[in-house]
Structure formats: C-alpha cells, structure tokens
C-alpha cells in the first residue's frame, strides 16, 4: 500500500484549525442519547440526526474527518439521497468508520474489558474502503478501580490495537488508535498520569513490534484528568501541563497528531483543555479533537427530534466546532462562551 497516501491522510486528519467529529455511536449508544431527548431511536431518526450534523453550513471549515458507524456509512443525505461518504468527500471531509465490535468482559478479570472485532476484519476493511472510508477507529477501554487496571488488561488491549492498526494500514486505511482510560472513579490526576503513561508505553511497544507505521496513524487518547468523583479537581492549566508532559514521555514524534476524545467532560472544559494544551509550544505533534459528546451534546438537545429545530441545532453544533477549531491553535478564550 502507498505509504505517502497514508501519511497524507493522517496529516490531513490532524491539520491545524480542524478536528474530527465522532458520530459513530453504535445503535445501543445512539438509543441512549435519543432516550435523553425522548426521541425514538429508529433507523430514520438516526439518519435525520446525522444528516442534520453533516449538512451544517460550513462544517468543512472546522471538521477534517467524520467517524461513522456501519449503518451511517450506508445511509444518505435526506435531500438528494447522496451517500454520506460521498457527501462528506465532496466537502473535502474524510469519511471514517468505527470497526471494533465493542468492549466485552476480559476473561479471568473482575470487571475489565477487551475490545473484540479482529476476526474477519481484513474483509470488512476491504468493503469499507470500497464504500469510501479512508480511516478507521478502534477503542480500547481501561478502567481505574480497586486492583485495576491489571498489566494483563493493558497488554491484551494494546496487542489488539496493534493488530487492528496493522490490518488497516495494509488496506490503505489510517487507523485511529484509541486507548481510553475512563474518567469514572475517585482517582487523582497523578494516578491518571501514571496509568496513562503505562498504557501508552504498552500501546507503542505493540505498535512498533507489529510494524505499524507511526507516520500513518492518529492517536486518540484520554486527557490526563482527575476522576469524576475525585474530591480535588485539577485546574485547566494543570490538566494541560500534565497531559502534554505525559505524551512527551510516551508518544514518538513520528506520530503526526493526537486527537483527544472528550470522555464525558463538559463541552466547555473539553474546549478549554485543548486550548490550554495548544498554548504550550513544545509539542512535536498537532493536538486536536475527536469529540463525540463535546461536539454534539448542545445540538442533540436543541434538535430534540423536531424538523423545525434543525437550523438551531446546526448552529449549536457549529458553535462547538468553531470553538474547538480555535482551540487547536490556542486561539480560544473563555469569554467567547457568552
């Protein structure tokens, strides 16, 4: 497979001023989101909702790529019936696809998770490429808790991430490598720092061992944060400094970019953290966003399943997209929120 095109795609995904929209909620996750606004999760409503996001006027100014779910990759715009991958490509936005089959119970552990989906992956990737996808996502989940994470869980997930990534590159698709340490729990930011460091060591050991080209991938990690229920919450500056420091110690400079997940942070904090990191000027990689909830939450609420709310929902989505775009350059300021 052509090395240059993988590198070009990866660089385009993480270019300054743009980031990735994660709209790849699985059908059960989408149902959860729709339940929160009392909208039935039918195939048609999911299509309408994604259509609202992808046809927002000017989306291409802030969004470099969109991660789709299998069903969404096969759906089309409501007006004109253009398949979503073609619609996005025409706008200069790269279509991506979530290819993992979810995090399941890891055998011989209390409640740790392993991500499934490697069997038959090569054939699925070929089909996704033909349908227009140019990058992929695989999410591994690491939980902090009593006696967790185990070294076994970290290494099993890192191994699977690297197997996934090498298959994707073989098929000309740029892998988003996503090891997510959950924010749930009472852990301190120091514990998050230590465990994010260990996780990333494992991940890069496996990526290198399995021949993954670091120039042709994108890392999608958690930020280094205090646990949701930790009594002492770190400041924005502390999060930015510790996150960048953690990655300087673990992520090779060959990786073109780091696109953070939001992981349940508020929309405002997710933007503020990214902005503060981009005000630190010694990073070898571009730092951008690959947010799901932090880009969509206000738009979802504003839409509430009603056609007459589409324009206001698109405005709400574009506001978050623009603020996060500014944050990729360190040009955001908190008073813009008002």
List the catalytic residues.
178, 220
Please report how close the Cβ of residue 225 comes to ligand 13P at its closest, in angstroms.
Answer: 12
Alpha helices in the chain (DSSP H): 3-13, 27-35, 43-54, 70-73, 84-90, 121-130, 151-170, 189-209, 236-250, 267-278, 293-303, 310-327
Binding segment toward ligand 13P, per CB under 6 A, in 189-197, 234-242, 286-294, 319-327: 286-294
Instruction: Report residue 6 as tokens.
Output: 């993988």
Q: Please tell me whether residue 179 binds ligand 13P under the rule CB under 6 A.
A: no
Please report how close the Cβ of residue 4 comes to ligand 13P at its closest, in angstroms.
Answer: 27
Q: Please tell me whether residue 139 binds ligand 13P under the rule CB under 6 A.
A: yes
Please report how close the Cβ of residue 136 comes to ligand 13P at its closest, in angstroms.
Answer: 12
Q: Please tell me whether residue 293 binds ligand 13P under the rule CB under 6 A.
A: yes
Instruction: Tell me the HSE value of 45 on the side-chain side, using a 13 A CA sphere.
Output: 17
Question: Given candidates 6, 73, 294, 313, which one binds ligand 13P under the rule CB under 6 A?
Answer: 294
Residue 245-264 contact track with ligand 13P, rule CB under 6 A, x = bound: ----------------xxx-
Within 211-240, the residues that bind ligand 13P by CB under 6 A are none
3-state secondary structure 74-118: CCECCCCCCEHHHHHHHCCCEEEEECCCCEEECCCCCCCEEECCC
Three-state DSSP state, 190: helix
Q: Please tell me whether residue 183 binds ligand 13P under the rule CB under 6 A.
A: no
Could you give the CA distance from residue 113 to residue 245 in angstroms, rounded to a whole number? 27
Q: Please tell me whether residue 22 binds ligand 13P under the rule CB under 6 A.
A: yes
Q: Please tell me whether residue 273 binds ligand 13P under the rule CB under 6 A.
A: no
Q: Give the H or E element holding residue 307.
A: none
- Confirm if 279 and 240 have CB atoms less than 8 A apart: yes
Q: Please tell me whether residue 292 binds ligand 13P under the rule CB under 6 A.
A: yes
Q: Name the residues that contact ligand 13P, by CB under 6 A.
A: 22, 139, 178, 261-263, 291-294
């Amino acid at each position: 497979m052509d090395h240059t095109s993988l590198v070009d795609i990866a660089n385009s995904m993480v270019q300054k001023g743009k980031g990735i929209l994660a709209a790849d909620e699985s059908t059960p996750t989408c149902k959860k989101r729709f339940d929160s606004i009392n909208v039935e999760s039918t195939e048609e409503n999911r299509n309408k909702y994604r259509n609202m996001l992808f046809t927002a006027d000017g989306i291409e100014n802030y969004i470099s790529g969109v991660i789709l779910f299998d069903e969404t990759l096969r759906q089309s715009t409501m007006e004109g019936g253009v398949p979503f991958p073609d619609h996005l490509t025409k706008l200069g936005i790269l279509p991506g696809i979530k290819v993992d089959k979810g995090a399941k119970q890891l055998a011989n552990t209390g409640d740790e998770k392993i991500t499934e989906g490697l069997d038959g992956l090569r054939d699925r990737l070929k089909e996704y490429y033909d349908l227009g996808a140019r990058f992929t996502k695989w999410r591994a989940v690491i939980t902090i808790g009593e006696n967790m994470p185990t070294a076994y869980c970290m290494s099993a997930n890192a191994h699977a991430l690297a197997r996934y990534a090498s298959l994707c590159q073989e098929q000309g698709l740029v892998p988003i490598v996503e090891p997510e340490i959950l924010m749930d729990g009472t852990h301190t930011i120091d514990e998050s720092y230590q465990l994010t460091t260990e996780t990333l060591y494992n991940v890069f050991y496996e990526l290198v061992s399995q021949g993954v080209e670091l120039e042709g991938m994108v890392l999608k990690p958690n930020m280094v944060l205090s646990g949701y229920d930790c009594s002492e919450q770190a400041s924005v500056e502390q999060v930015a400094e510790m996150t960048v420091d953690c990655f300087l110690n673990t992520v090779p400079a060959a990786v073109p970019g780091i696109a953070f997940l939001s992981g349940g942070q508020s929309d405002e904090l997710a933007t503020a953290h990214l902005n503060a990191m981009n005000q630190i000027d010694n990073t070898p990689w571009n730092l951008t966003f690959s947010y799901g909830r932090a880009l969509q939450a206000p738009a979802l609420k504003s839409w509430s399943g009603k056609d007459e709310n589409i324009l206001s929902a698109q405005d709400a989505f574009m506001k978050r997209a623009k603020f996060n775009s500014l944050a990729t350059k360190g040009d955001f300021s908190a008073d813009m929120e008002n």
